[in-house]
Copies of this chain bind each other. A is one copy, B any other.
Amino acid sequence: MDASKTSDRLNVAVIGAGRMGADHIRRLDTRISGARVAAVVDVDEARATDAVRDVPGAVALTDPTEALARADVDAVLVATPGFLHEDILLAALEKDMPILCEKPLTQEPDSSWRIVEAEERLGRQRIQVGFMRRFDSEYAALGGIFAGGELGAPLMLHCAHRNPSTPPGFTNEMLITDSVVHEFDVIRYLTGEEIASVQIRRGRRNSFAPDEQHDPQHVLIETTGGLLADVEIFVNAEFGYQVTTQAVFERGIVNIGRDRGPEVAASGRWGGVVTPGFEERFGDAYEAEVQSWVDAAARGEIGGPSAWDGYATAACCAAGVRAQQSDAAVTVELNTKPEIYHS
Question: Do residues A253 and B261 form an inter-chain contact, with CB atoms below 8 A?
Answer: no
What mask results when residues 15 to 42 of chain A are scored 1 for a CB within 8 Å of chain B, else 0? 0000000000000011111100010000
Q: With an 8 A cutoff between CB atoms, is A216 at the interface?
A: yes
Quick one: which of B10, B141, B201 contacts A261, CB cutoff 8 A?
B141
Copy number in the complex reads: 4
Q: With an 8 A cutoff between CB atoms, is A9 at the interface?
A: yes
How far, in whole Å, are A142 and B272 apart by their CA atoms in the complex?
12
Stretch from A175-183, A233-241, A306-314, A332-340 contacting the other chain: A233-241
Q: With an 8 A cutoff between CB atoms, is A120 at the interface?
A: no
Question: Do residues B248 and A264 form an inter-chain contact, with CB atoms below 8 A?
Answer: no
Q: With an 8 A cutoff between CB atoms, is A299 at the interface?
A: no
Q: With an 8 A cutoff between CB atoms, is A207 at the interface?
A: yes
How far, in whole Å, are A152 and B258 apart by their CA atoms in the complex?
23
Distance to closest chain B CB from A151 (angstroms): 6
Question: Do residues B71 and A2 form an inter-chain contact, with CB atoms below 8 A?
Answer: yes
Question: Do residues B240 and A268 form an inter-chain contact, with CB atoms below 8 A?
Answer: yes
Question: Do residues B226 and A262 form an inter-chain contact, with CB atoms below 8 A?
Answer: no
Interface centre among A222, A242, A269 (most CB of B within 10 A): A269
Q: With an 8 A cutoff between CB atoms, is A111 at the interface?
A: no
Stretch from A46-54, A100-108, A122-130, A153-161 contacting the other chain: A153-161
Question: Do residues A267 and B252 form an inter-chain contact, with CB atoms below 8 A?
Answer: yes
Q: With an 8 A cutoff between CB atoms, is A251 at the interface?
A: yes
Q: With an 8 A cutoff between CB atoms, is A137 at the interface?
A: yes
Q: List 27 A-B contacts (CB under 8 A).
A: A1-B8, A1-B11, A1-B298, A2-B72, A2-B74, A4-B6, A5-B72, A29-B33, A30-B33, A31-B291, A32-B33, A33-B33, A151-B266, A153-B207, A155-B234, A156-B218, A216-B248, A239-B265, A239-B266, A254-B263, A256-B261, A258-B260, A258-B263, A259-B270, A269-B272, A269-B273, A270-B274
Beyond A155-B203, A201-B222, A216-B248: 13 further Cβ-contacts under 8 Å? A1-B74, A2-B38, A5-B7, A7-B7, A8-B57, A31-B33, A32-B33, A153-B206, A154-B204, A155-B216, A201-B228, A203-B226, A253-B266
Residues of chain A at the chain B interface (Cβ within 8 Å): 1-11, 29-34, 38, 56-57, 71-72, 74, 137-138, 141-142, 145, 150-156, 158, 160, 162, 201, 203-208, 216, 218, 220, 222, 225-228, 230, 232, 234, 237-240, 242, 248, 250-256, 258-274, 276, 284, 291, 295, 298, 327, 329
